[in-house]
Amino acid sequence: MELLYNIFVDPFAQMVSTPDFLLQVLWEGFVTGTLYALIALGYVLIFKASGVFNFAQGIMVVFAALSLVGFYEAGVPAWLALLLALGIMAVLAVGTERLVLRHMVNQEEIILFMATIGLSYFLIGSGELIFGGETKSMITEELGLPTGSTVLDVAGGIVILQHIDIAAAVIAALMVAALAFFFSKTRIGRALRAVADDHQAALSVGISLNQIWAVVWFAAGIVALATGIMWGARSDVSFALQIVALKALPVLILGGFTSIPGAIIGGLIIGMGEKLFEVYWGGLMGGGVEGWFAYVIALIFLLFRPQGLFGEKIIERI
């Protein structure tokens, strides 16, 4: 009886009795979800262009952020360091296309996936060699990003809003809008969708596969840099950050591997869902449940929509 009470009554009673805390939980879930969505966006971009899950996206986030901080620590002004970090991601995109992807046109997707695992290890090793293994602080203020917090009085309690979190939400929204425009309204965006459907068919109508791949990897690099800055501002830049990127997996399962809105909505559902469950129900299981609960949410959705919320329904002729 007590168990039933703890599951079905007590959490909701807590939500009603402390609405300020509920708002704080929802806000933290929203911000975390936004950041999950940013990571997932990087995966979606590559998947849309090549049908491959880019295992290296997590380390790309770390590599981009470390490049930015590394240039700044070397005495380069913050704005120039940002441009140089973007340059690094451009070089990485072109290099990946020239040295890896170009040789794998029309190969099985699993081969491309394995190549991204190799790329991941290459970036880990070279990143540690170049930047060292120490944790670095993100240059939040130097980049002009807001710091500090605003405290709202809500129903006799407080809700604390970190300014960097608000900035993360705004930047994520802008990136989604820009990417949606890029994919639907530009010639390269349409060509990219054609490549995603069929490499050979796209080649036969004169689309440059190599150029498209380089462009999309660069776009994923930009998303990685934005993600690295935002996560780094919250909890510093270290190689442990690449593990957080795995949180994008349930987001992708939920939102669909090819949908940009899916990444956003999926991110928010996972982010807010796991926070609510951890805070109000996690104690019943000893805490630390959000690590697996995200997958539970994704699997529940998967039962009803195997292609994800916004994924394309695949119909194949037999």
Partner 1 sequence: MFGKMVTGATILATALTLQTGSVSAEETLFVPSLSYRTGPFAANGIPIANGFADYFTMLNERDGGIGGVKVTVEECETGYNAQKGVECYEATKGKGALVYNPYSTGITLQLIPKAPVDKIPVLSMGYGLSAAAIGEKFPWTFNYPATYWDQMSSIIKYIDGKEGGIKGKKIGFIYLDVGYGKEPIPLLDQLAEEMGFTVVKFPVGVKEMQNQSSHWLNVRKERPDWMIMWGWGAMNATAIKEAAKTRYPMDRFIGNWWSGANVDLEPAGEAGKGYIAANMAAAGTDMPAIQDILKYVVDAGKSKVAERSDVGKVLYNRGVLNAVVVAEAIRTAQEMTGKKMITGEDMRLGLENLDFSAERMAELGLPGFTAPIKASCENHGSGGSIFLHQWNGSGWETITDLIPPMTEKVRAMLEEAADKYVADKPDWQTQDCG
Please give the residue ranges that form the binding site for partner 1 (CB under 8 A): 14, 21, 24-25, 28, 31-32, 124, 128, 132-135, 137, 149, 160, 162, 231, 234-236, 238-241, 243-244, 246-247, 274-275, 278-279, 282-283, 286-288, 290-291
Q: Rounded to the nearest whole angstrom, what is the least distance from the CB of residue 144 to partner 1 in the complex?
A: 19
What are the strands, taking DSSP E only, across the chain?
A: 149-154, 157-162
Q: Rounded to the nearest whole angstrom, what is the least distance from the CB of residue 75 to partner 1 in the complex?
A: 15
- Cβ nearer to partner 1, comparing 135 with 184: 135
How far apart CA 246 and CA 266 sit, in angstroms, is: 14
Q: Rounded to the nearest whole angstrom, what is the least distance from the CB of residue 239 to partner 1 in the complex?
A: 6
Cα 205 off chain centre by: 33
- Cβ nearer to partner 1, comparing 132 with 144: 132
CA nearest neighbour of 60 among 73, 45, 75, 74? 45
CA nearest neighbour of 67 among 76, 54, 58? 76
How far apart CA 302 and CA 308 sit, in angstroms, is: 6
- Count CB atoms within 10 A of the CB of residue 240: 11
- Cβ nearer to partner 1, comparing 26 with 203: 26
Q: Rounded to the nearest whole angstrom, what is the least distance from the CB of residue 240 to partner 1 in the complex?
A: 4
Q: Rounded to the nearest whole angstrom, what is the least distance from the CB of residue 158 to partner 1 in the complex?
A: 9
Q: Rounded to the nearest whole angstrom, what is the least distance from the CB of residue 115 to partner 1 in the complex?
A: 22
How far apart CA 144 and CA 247 sit, in angstroms, is: 28
- Token match 């293994």: residue? 133
How far apart CA 68 and CA 84 sit, in angstroms, is: 7
Q: Are 44 and 175 in contact (CB under 8 A)?
A: no
The DSSP secondary-structure symbol of 310 reads S
| Termini Cα distance of the chain | 53
CA nearest neighbour of 242 among 56, 47, 45, 33? 56
- Cβ nearer to partner 1, comparing 144 with 291: 291
Q: Rounded to the nearest whole angstrom, what is the least distance from the CB of residue 14 to partner 1 in the complex?
A: 8
Buried b (16+ CB within 10 A) or exposed e, 245-257: bebbbbbbbbbbb
List CB contacts of 122: < 8 A, sequence separation 6 or more.
none
- Cβ nearer to partner 1, comparing 182 with 281: 281
- Cβ nearer to partner 1, comparing 104 with 124: 124
- Cβ nearer to partner 1, comparing 32 with 259: 32
- Cβ nearer to partner 1, comparing 77 with 132: 132
Q: Rounded to the nearest whole angstrom, what is the least distance from the CB of residue 235 to partner 1 in the complex?
A: 4
